[in-house]
């Protein structure tokens, strides 16, 4: 083999090693499908979103776990000439808006369902849907006009009727671990469940700057205790 051929072989091997390490670092620890069901006068309406939870294996984020995916937008259909909706954000509300708890929804829901703690590494091997209840339920909002972020209103999980109208009630939320697949070519089918995308088609202002997302959170009365990127309550890359 020539000198140049040897170097090409070495460089090719290095490229494979680097690519493999990047896949190891960025591959989700687990994926889960978050499903939201709402009782309406026309029956139960539902929608779901597949989210990917990625630990910081490269320690470039200071050990911080992140979630990729989008909020769950449930189209509730038309009622008295108005099309209604409910959105489960990628955020939770305690005393202030929190963007990190979504990383642990499936982990804690499976632990609660089993009555025992579930390890992060074990989670990707579990199956079956489990209920998401109590403080695990994300912050919920509705938009009087999905094209206008200023029409956002918060919806209490146990008082949906007060905002959405008579006959509307949160039926329940579930989390279900789905296969990681062959990331980064998890395009569906045998390759694995892809992370859900497409909320911009439902909330078109998300295509702009974070100012519109901030306006939506403000209109709903959702404030954070520390600086946040408002769009991350709706979508994360």
Q: What is the pLDDT along the chain (237 residues), one digit of tens a residue?
A: 576 767 676 666 555 544 444 444 557 889 999 999 999 999 999 999 999 999 877 566 567 899 999 999 999 999 988 999 999 999 999 889 999 999 999 999 999 988 888 988 899 889 899 999 999 999 999 999 999 999 999 999 999 999 999 999 999 999 999 988 776 777 667 777 899 999 999 999 999 988 999 999 999 999 998 889 999 999 999
Q: Tell me the pTM.
A: 0.88
pLDDT for residue 21: 42
pLDDT for residue 232: 97
Strand order in the sheet with 140-143: 72-79, 82-88, 140-143, 152-154
129-132 and 97-98 as β-strands: parallel, antiparallel, unpaired?
unpaired
């Amino acid at each position: 083999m020539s000198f140049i051929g040897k170097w090409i072989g070495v460089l090719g091997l290095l490229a494979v090693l680097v690519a493999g390490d990047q896949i190891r670092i960025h591959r989700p620890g687990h994926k889960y499908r978050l499903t939201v069901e709402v009782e309406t006068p026309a029956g139960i309406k539902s929608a779901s979103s597949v989210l990917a939870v990625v630990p910081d294996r490269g320690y470039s984020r200071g050990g911080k776990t992140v979630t990729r995916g989008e909020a769950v937008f449930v189209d509730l259909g038309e009622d008295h000439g108005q099309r209604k909706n409910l959105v489960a954000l990628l955020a939770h509300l305690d005393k202030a808006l929190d963007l990190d708890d979504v990383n642990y929804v499936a982990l804690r829901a499976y632990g609660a369902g089993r009555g025992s703690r579930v390890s992060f590494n074990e989670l990707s091997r579990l199956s079956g849907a489990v209920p998401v209840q109590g403080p695990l339920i994300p912050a919920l909002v509705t938009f009087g006009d999905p094209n206008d972020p200023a029409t956002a209103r918060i919806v209490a999980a146990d008082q949906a009727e007060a905002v959405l109208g008579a006959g509307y009630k949160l039926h329940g939320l579930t989390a279900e671990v789905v296969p990681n697949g062959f990331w980064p070519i998890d395009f569906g089918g045998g390759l694995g469940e892809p992370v859900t995308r497409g909320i911009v088609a439902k909330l078109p202002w998300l295509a702009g700057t974070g100012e519109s997302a901030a306006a939506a959170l403000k209109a709903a009365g959702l404030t954070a205790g520390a600086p946040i990127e408002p769009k991350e309550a709706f979508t994360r890359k």
